[in-house]
């Protein structure tokens, strides 16, 4: 004799009727609402997470791009300053001194004319370096109604002059001006290089 009659049969029995659980319409509606709410919440959380991830990705990409751009800009700026440095040196050692020497006499006459506007009847005097007196006299011509005394002083450097009209005095010193321009350019270049090294 077999013991099959003692064990429950879990096999498919086509003749057996399906078990239908009876649910009220109210319970069914509650189950649907709960299922919808669970699905909606899960979808919302997924959307927020995806948006946060996208925002973080965009922020990281933008930060990297800005760093690359800043590095490229700084690199280009450094190269520009390095390429301009020799030009600045030529400018301050050759071009500016020649230009200032060529225009110094005319600048002196302009300054003297400006000083004489308020003191037309006062004596005028120009003191220049040794050897520059004749060229200054030639520039003065007949521009002034009052005689202008031109004296040479061995202590003055070329490009340096003292102008006096009555009690007013003025010093012109193209050498000091040129040195100031050189110092300014050197200081700018130095500070720029220091800033680029140390931020």
- Going by the DSSP 8-state scheme, the letter that residue 75 receives in this structure is H
Beta strand pairing status for 160-165 and 168-173?
Answer: antiparallel
Looking at the domain assignment, is residue 108 inside a domain? yes
The pTM of this model reads 0.52
Looking at the domain assignment, is residue 54 inside a domain? no
Residue 171 sits in which domain range? Answer: 60-198
Could you count the other beta carbons within 10 Å of the beta carbon of residue 73? 10
For residues 50 and 43, give the distance between their C-alpha atoms in angstroms, rounded to a whole number.
10
Looking at the domain assignment, is residue 64 inside a domain? yes
Task: Check which CATH number belongs to the domain holding 85 and give it.
Answer: 3.40.1260
The one-digit pLDDT tens for each residue of the chain (199 residues) are 677 777 777 766 666 566 656 677 888 888 888 888 888 888 889 888 989 898 888 888 888 888 777 667 777 777 788 888 888 888 888 888 888 878 888 888 888 888 888 776 778 898 999 988 888 888 887 777 778 889 999 998 888 999 998 888 999 998 888 888 888 888 888 887 777 766 5
Q: Return the H-helix or E-strand segment holding 42.
A: helix 25-90
- The count of domains in the chain is 1
Q: Return the H-helix or E-strand segment holding 151.
A: strand 148-153
């Amino acid at each position: 004799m077999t013991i099959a009659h003692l064990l429950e049969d879990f096999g498919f029995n086509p003749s057996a009727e399906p078990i239908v659980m009876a649910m009220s319409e109210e319970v069914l509606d509650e189950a649907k609402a709960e299922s919808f709410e669970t699905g909606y919440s899960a979808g919302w959380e997924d959307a927020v997470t995806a948006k946060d991830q996208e925002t973080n990705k965009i922020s990281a990409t933008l930060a990297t791009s800005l760093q690359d751009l800043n590095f490229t800009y700084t690199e280009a700026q450094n190269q520009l300053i390095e390429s301009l440095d020799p030009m600045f040196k030529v400018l301050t050692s050759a071009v500016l001194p020649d230009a200032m020497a060529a225009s110094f006499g005319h600048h002196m006459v302009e300054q003297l004319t400006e000083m004489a506007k308020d003191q037309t009847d006062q004596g005028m005097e120009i003191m220049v370096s040794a050897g520059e007196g004749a060229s200054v006299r030639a520039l003065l011509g007949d521009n002034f109604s009052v005689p202008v005394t031109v004296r040479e002083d061995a202590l003055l450097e070329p490009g340096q002059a003292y102008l006096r009209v009555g009690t007013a005095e003025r010093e012109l010193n193209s050498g000091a001006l040129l040195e100031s321009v050189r110092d300014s350019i050197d200081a700018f270049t130095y500070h720029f290089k220091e800033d680029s090294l140390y931020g």
